[in-house]
């Protein structure tokens, strides 16, 4: 059906054999989270009637109100905002930051420098317009605690910084971004929460992107005050066409609602415009699809290991997000991997990805994505900046059986480049 080098077929078969026990453990987590989601739907009396479209102001939209309760229960939070109006993960995080922080407050990132696209929001790093309305423009201060040499959270330095002055928000970026540091686990988040909550007035916000449903617990289950993420990543299940969520303590979610719309109105307005059915279907399918994405990541790690490349996490390491970083070490191999992955995409398989100057990034970026929803990273994709160490970050996979084919194509294109080296 698909034409692969015989070596790639053998590597694939061996990889599947090697990781069979790992798949069983992933299925156990997936089943737990899927049943947890089903329970939230049942407990909140989800019915077909609430999928009806609202227009105009959107007053008294039951579908909008119930999906907030469903999602909050599923993530162990007091309250939630699940909205198609959030344009992307960065927008959702921005609403949360501006919703909670006030002039004079200090935001302390304890996972080092945040992801590239959030830096202009904070007002740090190079920005083309210093008056674009960043947190800094509004008198909100920023500080950070570097990760330890092992890439993990430095709890002693966090404690030291909190002792040295008031901090309103301790900020955790759960996923790694374009770095090779370990993803932050829920257990590690709990340690930070326990430290932060010893200081009066200090709350914890978690950028939960890529981490939803990868463990049995979410950060809000262990005391995080607020979490936020994108619905075209894990929680939208590849069905939600746009949107984001904010969840956590009721008082903070309410503050974010006032930033999302306007003070005094908050969550009471916002027409759903026929998006409710897809949002409900998306979050319902989210845990299962995340399980498929995790299998894809594990398979990628193992088959690339057989080709001689390192990756993080390795196949049998604990996983706390859906991202797999493959250490290719060379620009040509990185490009080959992305171009090969594209060949196995259900959409735009005929397209050849090329590096380009992507807004918000300091280096050229290459992106492989053949998605039904533009930019959806729960659908299989891979991307990387063209800079040392020339690693590629792969994520997603709506179902493992098709994602496996794309990964095999990626491995095959890498093998072709390696073959040229020895000719």
Instruction: Look at residue 48 and tell me if it is in a domain.
Output: no
pTM, to two decimals: 0.95
pLDDT above 80: residue 83? yes
Residues 347, 215, single domain; the answer is no
Q: What pairing do the DSSP bridges indicate for beta strands 141-144 and 106-109?
A: parallel
What CATH number should be reported for the domain holding residue 86?
A: 3.40.640.10
Of 283, 315, 335, the last residue of a domain is 283
pLDDT of residue 216: 98
Q: Tell me the per-residue pLDDT of 251-302, one tens digit each, with 9 for 90 and over.
A: 999 999 999 999 999 999 999 999 999 999 999 999 999 999 999 999 999 9
Give the residue among 402, 395, 25 at the shortest CA–CA distance from 210.
395
Instruction: Look at residue 97 and tell me if it is in a domain.
Output: yes
Q: What's the total number of domains in the chain?
A: 2
Average pLDDT, the chain: 95
pLDDT above 60: residue 403? yes
Of 257, 283, 309, the last residue of a domain is 283
Residues 275, 172, single domain; the answer is yes
Q: Which domain range does residue 329 map to? A: 6-33+287-421
Distances (CA, A) of 89 to 98, 217, 226: 14, 21, 14
Q: What dihedral do alpha carbons 190, 194, 197, 202 form, nearest 10°? A: -50
Instruction: Look at residue 47 and tell me if it is in a domain.
Output: no
pLDDT of residue 45: 98
Residues 62, 10, single domain; the answer is no
Residues 114, 100, single domain; the answer is yes
Residues 10, 144, single domain; the answer is no
Residues 272, 381, single domain; the answer is no
Of 283, 305, 325, the last residue of a domain is 283
Instruction: Look at residue 184 and tell me if it is in a domain.
Output: yes
Residues 164, 275, single domain; the answer is yes
Instruction: Look at residue 236 and tell me if it is in a domain.
Output: yes
Give the residue among 211, 154, 156, 205 at the shortest CA–CA distance from 185.
211
What CATH number should be reported for the domain holding residue 381?
A: 3.90.1150.60
Burial 259-297 (b: 16+ CB within 10 A, else e): bbbeeeebbebbbbeebbbbbbbbbbbbbbbbbbbbbbb
Instruction: Look at residue 41 and tell me if it is in a domain.
Output: no
Residues 200, 96, single domain; the answer is yes
pLDDT of residue 180: 87
What average pLDDT does the segment 17-35 reach? 98
Residues 231, 116, single domain; the answer is yes
């Amino acid at each position: 059906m698909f034409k692969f080098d015989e070596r790639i077929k053998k590597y694939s078969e061996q990889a599947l054999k090697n990781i069979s026990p790992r798949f069983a453990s992933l299925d156990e987590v997936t089943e737990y989270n899927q049943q947890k989601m089903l329970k939230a739907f049942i407990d909140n009396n989800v019915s077909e009637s609430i999928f009806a479209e609202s227009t105009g102001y959107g007053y008294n939209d039951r579908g909008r109100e119930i999906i907030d309760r469903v999602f909050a229960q599923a993530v162990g939070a007091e309250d939630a905002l699940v909205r198609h109006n959030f344009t992307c993960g960065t927008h959702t995080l921005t609403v949360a930051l501006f919703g909670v922080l006030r002039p004079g407050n200090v935001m302390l990132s304890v996972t080092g420098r945040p992801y590239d696209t959030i830096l202009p929001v904070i007002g740090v790093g190079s920005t083309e317009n210093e008056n674009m309305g960043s947190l800094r423009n509004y008198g909100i201060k920023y500080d950070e605690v570097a990760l330890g040499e092992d890439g993990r959270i430095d709890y002693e330095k966090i404690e030291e910084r909190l002792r040295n002055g008031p901090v309103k928000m301790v900020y955790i970026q759960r996923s790694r971004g374009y770095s090779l540091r370990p993803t932050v686990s829920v257990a590690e988040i709990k340690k930070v929460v326990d430290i932060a909550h010893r200081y009066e007035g200090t709350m914890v916000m978690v950028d939960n992107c890529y981490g939803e449903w990868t463990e049995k617990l979410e950060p809000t289950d262990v005391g995080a005050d607020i979490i936020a993420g994108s619905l075209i990543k894990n929680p939208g299940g590849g069905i939600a066409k746009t949107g984001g969520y904010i969840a956590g303590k009721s008082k903070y979610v309410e503050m974010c609602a006032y930033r999302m719309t306007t003070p005094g109105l908050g969550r009471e307005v916002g027409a759903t415009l026929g998006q409710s059915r897809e949002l409900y279907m998306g979050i319902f399918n989210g845990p299962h699809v995340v399980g498929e994405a995790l299998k894809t990541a594990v398979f990628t790690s193992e088959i690339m290991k057989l080709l001689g490349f390192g990756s993080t996490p390795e196949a049998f390491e604990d996983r706390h997000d859906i991202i797999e970083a493959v250490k290719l070490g060379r620009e040509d191999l990185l490009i080959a991997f992305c171009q090969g992955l594209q060949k196995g995409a259900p959409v735009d398989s005929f397209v050849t990805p090329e590096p380009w100057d992507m807004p918000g990034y300091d280096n050229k970026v290459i992106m492989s994505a053949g998605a039904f929803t533009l930019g959806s990273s729960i659908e299989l994709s891979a991307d990387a900046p063209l800079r040392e160490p020339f690693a590629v970050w792969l994520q997603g996979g709506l179902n493992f059986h098709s994602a496996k084919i794309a990964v095999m194509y990626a491995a095959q294109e890498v093998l072709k480049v390696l073959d040229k080296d020895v000719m």
